[in-house]
Structure 1
Amino acid sequence: MNIKLTIALVLTSGSLFAQTATNHDVKRINEVAENGTLAQKEALISELLTETKKSKDPNRLETISNYLYYLGRENSSDSLRNIVAKKYPKSQIARSQYITNVYYKQESAQAKEKSWKQLIKQWPIPKTEEIKIAYDYVLGDLTRTFANEGNKVKALEYLDQMNERFWRAQGYIPVANTFLQQGDTIAALPLIQKSIEDAEYYITLPKEQQDNRSGFAAVGYPGYVSQLADIYSKQGKHEDVLPLIERAIALAPNSASNFSSAYFKALQNAGRNLEALQQLELIYKKGTFTYKPNMKELYTALNGSDKGFDAYIARLDKDVVKSIQEHIGQYATSQALPDFELLNLKGEKVSLASLKGKVLVLDFWATWCQPCIRSFPGMKAAQDLYLNDKDVQFLFINTWERDKNYKENVAKFISTNKYPFQVLYDDQKDPETGKVLAAKLGVNGIPAKFIVDKEGIIRYALTGSSSDIDYIKLEMKELIESVKQPKKS
């Protein structure tokens, strides 16, 4: 799960670092937090705590609270937030605490609606150009609750109150999905269409006008288009599908591969079997093998029989492996793996020293990270390839957990899913830097994987993962086998 875009949006909204903080201030704090020694961090924390006793600006105090959290002083951050909320009841911190402690404690739509009305009465929605994401988060939840309870009128009423055009698809699409599950396609369609229109508005802005909001709005665009194409197909409106997808590809050519699944179906329905098969080839070569039955169907239709299909797939497999061999170069790096000593699920210490002489596959993950979880069947398949290879060790390093009882949750998750993984808890801070292993390695998104050679040198580092089991297995094999070879000088 990549968090760079999320951070960028939060920064844009001003809810992480208040606008009173200068760029220099932000840069200085970030530098110390990322690369400072423990002594430098403690000095900065002391400076910030001293400032809290003088400042009477709730926005600045919120900024300091966020800095303290970023620097690992969660308790001090929480304490400061509580003080500010009590002393400045109209502040953004007080608003946030109301949303967390009052609004989200409600269960029914009616109770949430009452809390929403109290929220905007006590903290009116600004009429300025200030980004109003905090209110849209709540509106999104409120609309979903009404939709889940079957109150379509109320759900649509509150959807119309969404403030931010770049964000409102996050409210529209979940409600549209609920309507679809309830069999109400007529109500769902306009919401999906509006989501597409909003994304296209930002995608087509002149480059100089595009910002983080544009990037965020465009992220879901392929999914919205594919969903609408699927609805049109089910309605028998095949003539509407191709123009929809071809327009999307023209507007977002860099995302063309994300439309391939919907595009192949539209081409097949239009009787353009060769082009449909070509789209599936693109999907296959990118590591998604689930459409192999469809490929066989199209291949047979084009050739009159399935003779030669296995050889055709074998050629594609060679292309896939070649593509993997070519693209893993972008993951190449060369840095020493920092020393570590972490606890496993049994409470036993596992150190880097104890793994000396092995090729290591480090997979940083968290129980809440869906891309991490989706990659696990593939990672298990990759690990199974090396079960009898004593020179290769997979380590699944649990990091960034949010719950206090994370160890119990992690153990339960691994046990329930019967994953034969060596799991380590990344919760031991380095006494010199105050960083956990993920931070020392510069991890800024998970899943993050590192392939380490027998000398303890990280040879490959990659963030994100496919969810296709066979592709992950192939990619991991190529990475591991590459690392097994002596490094060229």
Structure 2
Amino acid sequence: MKIIFVTLLMIIGLSPVFAQSNANFQASLASDFDALKNESNPKILQQKINRLTHSKNEKDWITVIHYYDATGQLNRKESLENELFKRFPHGNYALFNALVHIKYGKNGDAMEKILAKMKTNFPHIAVSDLDGAENMIAIQYAEERNTVRSLLHLNRIKIHPSVLIIANDLLKYDAAAAAKVVKQAMDRNETMPADSGNKAMYNQFCSLYSKIQIKLGHNEEALRYAKIAYDDRSGDDVSDGVASYAYLLSTNGQYREALPILRKLFIAGESNEQLNDRLRLSYEKLNPGKDGKVYLAGIQDSLINALEEDLTKTMLNDKAPDFYVTDSSGKKVSLSDFKGKTVILDFWATWCAPCKASFPAMQLAVNKYKNDPQVKFLFIHTRETSTTPLADAKNYLLANDYHLPLYMDIKAPLTHTNPAFSALNLQFIPAKLVIDGNGVIRFQLIGFGAEKDEAHVNILSAMIELAKKSS
């Protein structure tokens, strides 16, 4: 029940209005949900459902909807949802549904149309919900490389705009616009009271601004802001500001100061190819005649060994069911087809932001093992919401220059479930599984953390190596 109820809390947490920012609301909802979930007598269960669905309280209807969802009674769920929308056309669930449609809109233009309709249907919508919608659209337009529309929606946000996310997206194609957005946010933060918690945020802005200035070729300006972030860091923090500072120290010939910071970034998985080059160069400058590549390889081996030692304690020993998917040409493929190989499954969807956020790291992992015939990656598109999932998945990978082996977990027409996703008893995406050559699940990762891509690659590499050894 805990896993199922996490879904419920995630849903009501999407909108502060929907959750009513009220712990009592959530507690009551959980209590009623448990009462249905734990009722073993079918007659009494139906009586409870009838009582809730004859209530004038929208919360009672929501409880039954999520009970149907949790127990796989999707036709009943859909029917009750339709009735709920009629009974409470301007209720919390209808608002939530509108926000979900914005969140999973295909593109910025479609999301804008949904927002316009939402404003009409909910004229008294809370600022926090409106800001949430504007944030989602601003982020979407930034991903689509439409600076004008992204900034239009960003400037409409009254509280807590997602400046860091949007600026990072802008940085990929419009560094000048990213610099302007971040500088404006920094100027606003400097005017806030010292006890408002803005210092940590200001340092994050300094870190990002430094990265942007590096891309613009303004290294002197970049070093100034990188030093601010570095000097104000807490403990052994290895944030972007630290990375920028170490990079700039090295480019300025301050190798002795740069080397320990660059090494720490490398060990923490917070490095990248550019920083690795600076680490190699800094080492060689301080150790004439020594090979920096050998130095890096030694650190990498030690790092993977340490990760393996820790991960050994968390290894699973669950036999994987023999599910099937289809490849991008429509051919059926089953897990048993890869017997003897270490298989990495990555369940994703084009509407899933964390799934897509993991792809740069996963591409690095695929590249790392591309010449290893004993390792096989399957990127399985599942839980689709459109009528053209294969085209959507192909287009997304192509547009973002990802070379990931695509497979499809198409929804069954009768059960409306995704066979592979259901067979593995998964609840959420992104979900990544590492299966050894004997078909045993050794590791399962749900969600995607905030670590740098290199850190994720190191962890996944350690998992793969352990799975190979267990086969």
TM-score by length of 1: 0.67
Contact 1:365 1:396 (8 Å CA) reproduced = yes
1:371 correspondence with 2:357: yes
- Matching residue of 1:425: 409
Say what the alpha-carbon RMSD is for the aligned residues.
5.4
Once the two structures are superposed, residues 21-68 of structure 1 have per-residue CA deviations (whole angstroms, 9 ceiling, x without a partner) of 5637526747988xx9xx989999967863564021234334444444
- Matching residue of 1:279: 261
1:302 correspondence with 2:286: yes
Cα distance between partner residues in 2 of 1:382 and 1:156: 38
1:301 deviates by: 4.3
Q: Which has the higher contact order (CA 8 A, sep 6+)?
A: 1
- Matching residue of 1:236: 220
Contact 1:229 1:262 (8 Å CA) reproduced = yes
Cα distance between partner residues in 2 of 1:106 and 1:414: 18
Cα distance between partner residues in 2 of 1:113 and 1:430: 33
- Matching residue of 1:213: none
SS state at 1:292 partner: helix
- Matching residue of 1:138: 133
1:246 deviates by: 2.6
- Matching residue of 2:156: 158
Cα distance between partner residues in 2 of 1:5 and 1:47: 23
- Matching residue of 1:263: 245
1:332 correspondence with 2:315: yes
2:30 aligned partner, one-letter code: V
Contact 2:317 2:441 (8 Å CA) reproduced = yes
- Assess, with a 3 A threshold, how the Cα gap between structure 1 residues 331 and 203 changes in structure 2: closer, same or farther: farther
Contact 1:361 1:451 (8 Å CA) reproduced = yes
Contact 2:344 2:435 (8 Å CA) reproduced = yes
Once the two structures are superposed, residues 286-313 of structure 1 have per-residue CA deviations (whole angstroms, 9 ceiling, x without a partner) of 444402322244335434x564323323
- Matching residue of 2:56: 56
1:201 deviates by: 6.7
Contact 2:134 2:154 (8 Å CA) reproduced = no
1:361 correspondence with 2:344: yes
- Matching residue of 1:316: 299
- Assess, with a 3 A threshold, how the Cα gap between structure 1 residues 336 and 327 changes in structure 2: closer, same or farther: same
SS state at 1:397 partner: strand
Cα distance between partner residues in 1 of 2:364 and 2:8: 26
- Assess, with a 3 A threshold, how the Cα gap between structure 1 residues 202 and 375 changes in structure 2: closer, same or farther: farther
Cα distance between partner residues in 2 of 1:350 and 1:108: 35
SS state at 1:461 partner: strand
1:456 correspondence with 2:460: no
2:278 aligned partner, one-letter code: N
Cα distance between partner residues in 2 of 1:88 and 1:302: 71
SS state at 2:238 partner: helix
Contact 1:324 1:478 (8 Å CA) reproduced = yes
- Matching residue of 1:165: none
Q: Which of 9, 27, 40 lines up with 1:23 in the alignment?
A: 27
1:425 deviates by: 1.3
Say which is worse superposed, 179-188 or 335-344, in terms of deviation. Answer: 179-188
1:281 deviates by: 1.4
Q: Which of 393, 403, 413 lines up with 2:386 in the alignment?
A: 403
Contact 1:398 1:425 (8 Å CA) reproduced = yes
Instruction: Could you tell me which runs of 5 or more consecutive residues in structure 1 were left unpaired when the two chains were aligned.
Output: 126-131, 163-167, 206-217
- Assess, with a 3 A threshold, how the Cα gap between structure 1 residues 345 and 62 changes in structure 2: closer, same or farther: same
- Matching residue of 2:208: 227
Contact 1:365 1:446 (8 Å CA) reproduced = yes
SS state at 2:162 partner: helix
SS state at 2:220 partner: coil
Contact 1:16 1:66 (8 Å CA) reproduced = no
2:263 aligned partner, one-letter code: E
- Matching residue of 1:174: 166
Q: Which of 3, 13, 16 lines up with 1:13 in the alignment?
A: 16
1:277 deviates by: 1.8
Cα distance between partner residues in 1 of 2:255 and 2:431: 39
SS state at 1:263 partner: helix
Cα distance between partner residues in 2 of 1:481 and 1:142: 41
Cα distance between partner residues in 2 of 1:255 and 1:9: 33
Contact 1:450 1:460 (8 Å CA) reproduced = yes
Cα distance between partner residues in 2 of 1:40 and 1:415: 50
TM-score by length of 2: 0.69
1:111 deviates by: 8.8
- Matching residue of 1:210: none
Cα distance between partner residues in 2 of 1:270 and 1:301: 13
Cα distance between partner residues in 1 of 2:72 and 2:244: 45
Cα distance between partner residues in 2 of 1:340 and 1:31: 34
Cα distance between partner residues in 2 of 1:278 and 1:263: 12
